[in-house]
Amino acid sequence: MVNSFRRILCVLLSIFLLLPALNISAQTAEEKETLMRVSDSTTVVTGEGKKMELSPGAQFYGERNEDGSFRVEFNGDYFELSANEAEEEVLNEEQPAFVDEAALSQQLFPEGTVLSLMEGEQAITLLSDMMLSVNEEQTHAVIGNSSYLLEVPENTDPDPAMEESEQEVEESEPAIKESEQEIEESEPAIEEEEQETTAPAEPAYSFSEHKTFSTVSEHLSFYKKTKEGELVKQGELMPGVSYQLIREYGNWLEFQYGEQKAFVWKAAVEPVSQKELDELKAPEGQGTSFSINEDVTVYEQSAKSLTPIAHLLKGTKGEYHSVQGEWLEVHFAGRQGLIKKEAVDVASITAAAEPSSDYIKILLTNTSFYSNEGGSLTKLGQLQKGETYRKIRELGNWYEVSVGGKNAFILKEAAEPSQPGSVPYISDPDLQDLELISNATAYDNSTGSLVDIGFLLKGQKLNYISKAGNWYVIELLGRKAYIHGSAVTLDFNPLVNYFEVNQENVAVVVNNGGTLETRGYVEKGERYKRIGDAGNWHIIDVAGTKMYVWKKATLPVGAPANISDQASGSRTLTLELDATVYDNSTGGLVPISMLQKNQSYNYISKAGNWYKVIVAGRTGYIHKDAVKLEFEEEDDYFEVVQDNVSVVKNQGGKLIDVGRLVKGQVYKRIKDYGNWHLVDFGKVQGFVWEDATSPFRGSELPTLSGNGPESVYFTAKEDLGVYDNSSGELVNIGEIKAGSQFGVISQMGNWYEINFSGRKAYIYSPATELNASRVVNARERVYTYEEMVNDLQEIARMYPSFTQLTTIGKSVDGRDIYAIKLGKGSKEVLVDASTHAREHMTTNIVMTMLDNYAYSYATNQYFEGMNVPKILNETSIWFVPMVNPDGVTLVQKGHTSAKNPQEVLRMNNLSTNFTSWKANIRGVDINRQFPADWDNITNNSGRPSNKNYKGKAPLTEPEAQAVANFILSRDFKAFASYHSSGEILYWHFNQTNHYARDYALARKIGNITGYSLVSPLYDSSGSGASQDWFIRQVGKPGFTVEISPYVVEREVPLYYYDRIWNQNKIIGLVVADEAKYY
């Protein structure tokens, strides 16, 4: 609301500043142009080759060509719009005013400048630098005789366009050379490079010398440069990873991945040592092109894990150098990486169908493979002749391979390159550790039979993937192999996050001051997540409580399929009984743990009779019969768990029963109040005993009350049933005791909608008695159309037996024109107000009349000496408190309240000050619209304006039509129309019959108000006023009551309210009382 208000102020100020620079002149008939409005988004090219993007709603004045297209000229240039791109706007005034561009200055504006309509909607975006006509403050520009707000784009760093540094940049690509590692064929040992034993001083690095950089920020984007010079994002670099650069390129660094060149912003990286990249020695050579079909991460493989080094976006091009099972080897900025084959366009992997050098076939019997840890070869096992395996790479006379997550080496002479066999190969990362306590044969089981494919020596530690019965699945040179559990001992390492219980009744304990106390048990055969390691214990999270499980009763395993990463929840329950926790992921209840009673735990939510909890990463459910919930401060709802729970109020320290709640129903509480809930219970705050309820934390709440207006109250004449109707049937949810008072939100037939302790509920209205009260607050304040509508609806709800609220028509902008009948009399009179927009003080007076008369009638009282019940039982008063709602709202809220703000601004000479506006929103004076000597009206403005324009014919405006039709549909005995100003009373319009009758009532009104009667001289200048037409058409007394001392052409000041009210407060009753004689 505040931001909208500020924006409106800014627009108003901008228009105010623009006025001195604008020369408004009437357009002659020869200069007459067409107002056109853009209907669809389009891009236009001007005669000088400039481009603009036009949004729907942009409007211009221009010429209409013979083929229906439009030509718009501006600032010596022009553009054209087809008949499909724009449509002619119908003008209500015959000769609209235009902006003289010659009176403005010329200014060049950059591409990207946005021009907006007065209401703030974007209309034009410049796609080229362009010269525009602007006001002195450069806040507005004029195109096609239409004024627009300017929004000039700001320059930001870094500049998205890459600029070359002034120094020459060599275009030749630096060759990346790999130092060959010689391996003596006679000496199978693989030498590792010696490491420095002392840390040297931290050197200073530079991009030009070391050609290596590392990122200093998260998610650093890199780009390619198109032929058009545009930067297109290709992906992101990872923090802390070093990359090889080709050259510095102004404010950018150029690097290479595959055969692609890319650029990264220099300020976001720092130069680092090239030592790490020298050690990696990523090979050179051209690869096979591919296109990425989904966002993908590039990994680098180390001994135990895959480390992300970059992220590539969908559509990025690249090259791969080899296929390794489910992975493609790629070269990325001096690093050797892997990406998932499934993320690449399969059609581009042409090498996949050819013989692959990523696989080898064993040629010799009992071929040994070795580790090279510590720089010496250690035999790990043997491979079977004729079997095919996957290699990592060639290294001199050796093939580097992987065995159980460890790197190993095989002499080249013992194998040859081969295509992959039909057996399954493994691409999943290894997770768990095992140690071989005896030599173990490795078997393939892909055919359903165990086939010996290798032999492993005892004493080595390997990673295994999974456990199947008594067998462990490992990776053997890319193959899935099985070794028997008898040869294995398991070990939990920091990377193992899950365990399986392999004993019965394994306790879950807490550490209470150094003493282990049992809190429950976990189930044999079930898998759980651990959050840490404490010596011989797993640390687990049980519903928000840290607990421990004995390691020796478990085995390390992979993640179970039903594991959950959901937090344990913030709400608390207490177990009254030992509770079994069940898994329900398969659709059946499977016990996964038992928790002991008298302990408190966090839970996530309640679903039916079950509470959802997280036990060691598993989603579980506890039945409500084992649970006692404690109320917490943030609990907003409660469920009644006992029969006939009372709602009481505190009256002088004594608890008085005011209602009851129903078992099983849910209600809203205001807050916790010791052992009580504080609830909303009609006109009082009620209290409900907490022990008779339980916190409700389910997701399916009952239908809650919208807390609508409750200015109308009733008193229960007897004990009342309260009902919910959300299901389409009446369901009892409580009771209101006789004498209790509640507010009415709405009425539906014989039912009142109420707020019953937060519930949307209904009670039977004939069993109640309405409490009358005054509603309208219009004293010394701007009283809006919206406030008036709300007050009319409340009065109608409060007094349904003697009021009738209806609408008699709609305004130009679609606002309802309301009429309300007050009283039960068979005769009727009419009182209206605010026919003229600036005269909206009359609505304040007439609405206050209605409010006071209704209250006095309901309470059977006199008002200011007038017997209201007697008068309204004989004569009913119809009030139309705002004839011109569009005009009143324009005066009060400005041009943005209109559906066509540009049009009302133009009619008001671009001024945003509408305080003198009398007409409706189309610039027609409603009180010159009635057929009472309409042809003879003088001082007609001749065109739509703020006042005096009578229109093209009588009763063309919907507001005038609504009043005339309403008068003709009833048999009104008198009519009083309230206007301002001057404290005078018009009462005569050339009538010859009933002169004495009308004069007598006019003199009575004049005596009460102190207003002067206008002399009844024949007026040959015409009228058009509703009161004059009523006198002529109906033949009954009609009056125009001009309130307030004369205030020239403006709104009546609020400080006159008390004076005006005291003069007019009984006039409606006086007119009704006299009308009984007509």
Render 824-835 in DSSP notation, one character per residue. --SEEEEEEE-S
Query: Residue 445 region, left (φ>0) first, then alpha (ψ -120 to 50), else beta?
Result: alpha
Active site residue 1042: yes
User: Cα–Cα distance between 331 and 350 in angstroms, integer?
Assistant: 18
Q: Are 688 and 720 in contact (CB under 8 A)?
A: no
User: Cα–Cα distance between 372 and 155 in angstroms, integer?
Assistant: 58
Phi, psi of 435 (to 5 degrees): -130, 135
Q: Half-sphere exposure (CA, 13 Å, Cβ side) for 548?
A: 17
Q: Which residues contact 581 (CB under 8 A, 6 or more apart)?
A: 591, 592, 593, 594, 595, 613, 615, 620, 621, 622
995: enclosing H helix or E strand? helix 995-1009
Q: Extract the tokens encoding 667.
A: 């209600």
Which amino acid, residue 855? Answer: Y
Rg (CA), the chain: 44
User: Cα–Cα distance between 165 and 1036 in angstroms, integer?
Assistant: 92
Q: Extract the tokens encoding 389.
A: 């395996």
326 alpha carbon, distance to own chain's centre: 41
Phi, psi of 676 (to 5 degrees): -125, 155
Which amino acid, residue 774? Answer: R
User: Cα–Cα distance between 657 and 651 in angstroms, integer?
Assistant: 10
Strand bridging mode 827-833 / 972-980: parallel
Q: What is the DSSP letter of 652?
A: T
Which amino acid, residue 881? Answer: P
User: Cα–Cα distance between 398 and 432 in angstroms, integer?
Assistant: 28
Render 13-48 in DSSP notation, one character per residue. HHHHHHGGG--EEEPPSTT--EEEEE-S-EEEE-TT
Q: Half-sphere exposure (CA, 13 Å, Cβ side) for 780?
A: 4
Q: 945 vs 93, 952, 958, 962, CA distance in Å?
A: 8, 13, 17, 22
Q: Extract the tokens encoding 909.
A: 């000479």
Q: Extract the tokens encoding 22.
A: 């604008």
Residues in the chain: 1078
CA triple 893-896-897, angle to 5 deg = 60
Burial (Cβ within 10 Å: 0-12, 13-18, ≥19) of residue 857:
buried
Burial (Cβ within 10 Å: 0-12, 13-18, ≥19) of residue 357:
middle
248, 839, 957, 1042: which one is catalytic? 1042
Q: Are 641 and 689 in contact (CB under 8 A)?
A: no
User: Cα–Cα distance between 176 and 257 in angstroms, integer?
Assistant: 12
Q: Extract the tokens encoding 550.
A: 């004995």
Q: Are 579 and 631 in contact (CB under 8 A)?
A: no
CA diameter of the chain: 139
Q: Which residues contact 453 (CB under 8 A, 6 or more apart)?
A: 383, 384, 387, 442, 443, 444, 476, 479, 481
User: Cα–Cα distance between 1038 and 673 in angstroms, integer?
Assistant: 62
Q: Residue 865: helix, strand or coil by DSSP?
A: coil
Q: What is the DSSP letter of 1027?
A: H
462 alpha carbon, distance to own chain's centre: 51
Q: Which residues are catalytic?
A: 1042
